[in-house]
């Protein structure tokens, strides 16, 4: 649930006038032990008449990558392995119950999803275990975690918590504090009443200690970098069109506290992440219209 909402002016060189909206979402997310954790609420706003993948009241984008940043220790060393918790909430936007609602999450084999034991996934919801089907499929190049809910009521939301090991990708030298620790997944939903839909979800580790530092990183570094890169990629008239009509950019963040598993070089969250932060900002600015880089 959104606990607060405020506007923050974003600074850049040259000076920009777009607005960054920071919304705090109080959510409980558990790596092991709250695999089934339903949240049934009525949210304000107009929704599509389909199954949606959401964080709080913000729907993930279906036609663009969705970036979810997570806080990481500052002293990452070679060989460290991190277990990353991932929360997926399905929302039934329709006015009738939907059945056989499937959430399938596709991982690269490098993320070692298959070694997370099935008995670690505990049904802590008010529903009977017979209401669910769950399996992990290990293929040559990918692992699939498949979760099926027999019924999702009209206007109801239901959350699944996943976990997998991160992998290391190349650092971007132009984006300070980006660690290269990552997980990329494809989340797929399907049901009796809704068509098959896919979401590209990309988790990225950021070397910050807390929520305040993450907000500053998005405000001072990420949003500014996005704005200047987008301007460099577009000619004058394309940029002008997007300045007038383009939608905002939406990213998310959460803040796991990692601790080392005894005798191993593996780090797992010591407690449940309790907040996600939604950042919504417009990367187009009149001040950048004549910017040549």
pLDDT in tens, 186-210: 999 999 999 999 999 999 999 999 9
Question: Does pLDDT of 30 surpass 70?
Answer: no
Question: Which of 88 and 43 is assigned the larger pLDDT?
Answer: 88
Given a cut of 60, whether residue 221 has pLDDT beyond it is: yes
Contact 269, 256 (CB under 8 A): yes
> Is residue 161 scored above 60 in pLDDT?
yes
Confidence check: pLDDT of 228 > 50: yes
**Averaged pLDDT, 98-118:** 92
Return the DSSP state at 220: I
Grade residue 121 by pLDDT with cuts at 50, 70 and 90: low
Among residues 65, 32, 85, which one has the least CA distance to residue 205?
85
**What confidence category does residue 91 fall into, taking pLDDT thresholds of 50, 70 and 90?**
very high
pLDDT for 119: 66
- Mean pLDDT score of the chain: 80
Tell me how far apart the alpha carbons of residues 93 and 138 are, in angstroms, rounded to a whole number. Answer: 32
User: What is the pLDDT, as a whole number, of residue 6?
Assistant: 32
Give the residue with greater pLDDT, 83 vs 36: 83
The pTM for the full model equals 0.80
Question: Which residues, including other chains, have CB under 8 Å from residue 14's CB and lie 6 or more apart?
Answer: 287, 288, 291
- Chain centroid to Cα 215, Å, comes to 16
pLDDT band at residue 120 under the 50/70/90 scheme? low
> Would the pLDDT of 148 be above 60?
yes
Candidates 10, 24, 14; CA nearest to 255 is: 24
């Amino acid at each position: 649930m959104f606990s607060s909402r405020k506007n923050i002016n974003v600074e850049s060189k040259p000076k920009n006038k777009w607005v960054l909206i920071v919304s705090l979402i109080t959510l409980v997310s558990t790596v092991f032990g709250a695999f089934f954790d339903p949240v049934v609420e009525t949210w304000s706003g107009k929704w599509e008449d389909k199954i949606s993948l959401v964080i709080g009241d913000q729907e993930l984008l279906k036609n663009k990558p969705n970036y979810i940043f997570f806080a990481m220790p500052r002293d990452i060393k070679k060989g460290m392995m991190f277990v990353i918790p991932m929360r997926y909430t399905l929302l039934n936007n329709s006015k009738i119950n939907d059945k056989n609602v499937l959430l399938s999450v596709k991982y690269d084999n490098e993320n070692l999803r298959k070694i997370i034991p099935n008995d670690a996934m505990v049904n802590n919801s008010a529903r009977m275990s017979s209401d669910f089907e769950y399996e992990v499929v290990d293929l040559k190049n990918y692992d699939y975690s498949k979760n099926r809910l027999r019924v999702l009521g009209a206007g109801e939301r239901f959350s699944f918590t996943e976990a997998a090991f991160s992998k290391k990708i190349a650092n971007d030298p132009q984006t300070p504090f980006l660690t290269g620790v990552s997980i990329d997944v494809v989340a797929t939903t399907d049901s009796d009443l809704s068509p098959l839909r896919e979401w590209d979800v990309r988790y990225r580790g950021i070397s910050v200690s807390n929520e305040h530092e993450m907000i500053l990183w998005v405000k001072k570094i990420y949003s500014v970098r996005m704005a200047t890169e987008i301007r460099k990629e577009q000619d004058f008239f394309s940029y002008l069109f997007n300045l007038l009509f383009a939608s905002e950019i939406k990213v998310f963040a959460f803040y796991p506290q990692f601790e080392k598993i005894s005798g191993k070089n593996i780090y797992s969250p010591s407690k449940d992440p309790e907040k996600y932060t939604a950042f919504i900002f417009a990367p187009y600015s009149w001040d950048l219209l004549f910017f040549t880089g």
